[in-house]
Structure 1
Amino acid sequence: MTDQSPATDLPGDVPADPSAVQRALVEWYEDGHRDYPWRQTDDPYRILVSEVMSQQTQLDRVVAAWEDFLEEWPTVDALAAADRAEVVGFWTDHSLGYNNRAKYLHEAARQVTAEYDGEWPRDPEGLTELMGVGPYTANAVASFAFNNGGAVIDTNVKRVLYRAFAEIHNADDPDYETVANALMPPGESRIWNNAIMELGGVACGKTPRCDEAGCPWREWCHAYQTGDFTAPDVPTQPSFEGSRRQFRGRIVRLLGEHDEMDLDTLGHRIRVDYTPDGEHGREWLRGLLSDLADDGLVQVEEGDDQITARLQ
């Protein structure tokens, strides 16, 4: 790791020369960290798949899905050539969250092969041109694939910064981005972002494990020194069982098995208590189909005497 030279414009209680802070974290990370397979590659395709899958799923659950996905579509060319319904069906079968993410990942693969001749954009700005790739994901892929990103700021990183630095802890509107980028050694986004995210995931979770995990920032940490381990609320995922997301997934899976289905047949297949005029009846089902149509996943046709649905 290249130490950052002393600076005078670092925010608040970030040390003017942060090299000791940087070294401590990177050495802690290199000494032993969770060995996720996407940390062993700099292939932007494999990293993008891991980032999209991780948006709604715990990392330990992502591993098997990631490996299965890459066994099915090992390269960006293979994914680009795949049938969209098969990709969406995989997403549903592995409970990976909103199906439009599968659609966007598929479209991004087509862009890379058709519009970029297989050459991936190498910076965050270029990566945001890909379908469904927002600023956070673009920065993560640029960092982990090309070592060419800024500081990644996710929930774990915010929690670390909030606890570690009094300026963040005491601010009404914390400037996480400025502090995170001030701490990151120039040109070291790959290892730094992995390290600080690991710190938040292993040592500085909702229940901190400072001593048990050997947190490398204890001597600088505001929370460790004061005993105040409050942190911003961490959003909890809504229950999947019985959710609209679950029934959307069932619809996509069924339509992937049939050319088309009429409204009531589809309704009875996705839930046992479906009644056309009931609480979970035609109006409820048409709302789900409308959402899927807006995502470009389903096509709904209204005839004289029935409504049918099929995958786009």
Structure 2
Amino acid sequence: MSEGTDAAGEPEPFADVDREAVRTALIEWYEADHREFPWRETDDPYAILVSEVMSQQTQIGRVEEAWAEFIERWPTTAELAAADRSAVVGFWTDHSLGYNNRAKYLHEAARQVEEEFGGEFPRSPDGLQELMGVGPYTGNAVASFAFDNGDAVVDTNVKRVLYRAFSVPDDDAAFEDAASELMPEGESQVWNNAIMELGGVACTQTPRCEESGCPWRRWCDAYATGDFTAPDVPTQPAFEGSRRQFRGRVLSTLREYDDLPIDDLGHRIRIDYAPEGEYGKEWLQGILADLSEDELVEIENREGGTVARLRR
């Protein structure tokens, strides 16, 4: 198996990526600014479980309001377990939270915590799956966010991020392996929150790379090429002739050279490049300025003119 490929000769995700730099960039981005949800401000496994169950196929805005009312009405597993099940199901229906079975399972899970676990939640993903209605994803999420004791969370957002940024194949096992490899050991709480946030506000179906200040632009394959398709994004956004397309061409071209004078670069990335024309130096300098701000390209003014190179 050669360096950078797997046993089948396919490109290996992260082969040429500084994993520590990737991890640090994401965590710093998340900690500097992220959406504030009340369940992110607690490590109470009950409150987190309620948020996870409510969030299944329900818009986050509706969940936030319903979650606050639910926790106010039944603030502990003991109080939920003691409640009449019809009241819990009625709450679920009144707040349009999806299938009523989720309310029944949540009520039963609270009873299990009280009667079978002495009022204490299991702390591991496997242990949490002993609770009614708690599957692998929910068990791992609660273990991560309540106890910092989970594995890498892999949801639709995370798959989209890994597929675009590091060309991870559209395969569940590949996503699981890649997510586990990238997550720093012992930091499941902050890491899973951060990578899910990245998929939720930056690497959305319609990407918001610049607007969100995506911390992975310098490593991202999709950002370099302009191809933002993903498993849950079946059609490719139009980018023929766009800045995204030519940004990708600039990076691909500079990979072949130590550096290039700006006019040589221009002629290599588009056939109609003319230094003083509409698509000339001013246009290309704007693209290079964006790439320089993203720390992907370096620009140097020499006596003979301006040259560009990939940032090392």
Q: TM-score, normalised by structure 1?
A: 0.69
Q: Deviations over 1:98-120 (max 9, x none)?
A: 00000000000000000000111
Where structure 1 has 5 or more consecutive residues not aligned to the other structure, the ranges are: 1-8, 236-312
Cα RMSD over matched residues?
A: 1.9
Give the equivalent residue in structure 2 for 1:23: 24
Which residue matches 2:138? 137
Q: Evaluate the alpha carbon distance shift between residue 87 and residue 173 of structure 1 in structure 2; reply closer, same or farther with a 3 A threshold.
A: closer
1:16 CA drift (Å)? 6.2
Q: How many residues align?
A: 225
1:154 partnered with 2:129: no
2:188 aligned partner, one-letter code: S
Give the % identical residues: 72
Aligned to 2:57: 56
Distance 2:49 2:233 in 1: 24
**Residue 233 of structure 1, CA deviation:** 2.2
Match runs of 1:217-256 below 5 Å: 217-233=216-232
Deviation at 1:219, TM superposition (A): 0.4
CA spacing shift, 1:76–1:207, aligned 2, 3 Å: same
Distance 2:60 2:20 in 1: 30
1:196 aligns with 2:195: yes
Give the AA of the match of 2:148: N
Specify the SS of the correspondent of 2:211: coil
**Superposition misfits of 4+ residues, deviation over 2 angstroms:** 171-174
**How many Å separate the matches in 1 of 2:108 and 2:57?**
20
Equivalent position of 2:105 in the other structure: 104
- Cα drift, residue 173 of structure 1: 6.7
Please give the alpha-carbon distance, in whole angstroms, between the structure 2 residues aligned to 1:165 and 1:108.
38
SS at match of 1:55: coil
In structure 2, what is the Cα distance between the partners aligned to 1:20 and 1:106? 43
Q: Is the 8 A contact 2:165 2:219 kept in 1?
A: yes
Match of 2:96 in 1: 95
Deviations 1:131-188 (A, max 9, x none): 000000000000000000000001100100110112x15x677610000000000000
CA 1:172–1:147: 2 relative to 1, 3 Å: closer
Higher relative CO (CA 8 A, sep ≥ 6), structure 1 or 2? 1
1:65: which partner in 2? 66
Instruction: Within 5 Å, give how 1:71-90 maps onto structure 2.
Output: 71-90=72-91
Contact 2:152 2:188 in 1 (8 A): yes
Specify the alignment match of 2:247 in structure 1. none
1:207 aligns with 2:206: yes
Q: Residue 62 of structure 1 aligns to a residue in which SS?
A: helix
SS at match of 1:212: helix
Give unpaired runs (5+ residues) of structure 2. Answer: 1-5, 235-312
Question: In the aligned structure 1, how far is the partner of 2:17 from the partner of 2:233?
Answer: 30
In the alignment, the residues of structure 2 paired with residue 136 and residue 234 of structure 1 have an alpha-carbon distance, to the nearest angstrom, of: 22
Offset of residue 17 of structure 1: 4.5
* Distance in 2 separating the partners of 1:26 and 1:217: 11
* C-alpha contact (below 8 Å) 1:203/1:215 kept by paired residues: yes
- CA distance change for structure 1 residues 173 and 36 in 2, over 3 Å: closer, same or farther? closer
- Tell me, yes or no, if the aligned pair for 2:160 and 2:232 is still in contact at 8 Å: no
Tell me which structure has the larger Cα radius of gyration: 2
In the other structure, the counterpart of 1:164 is 165
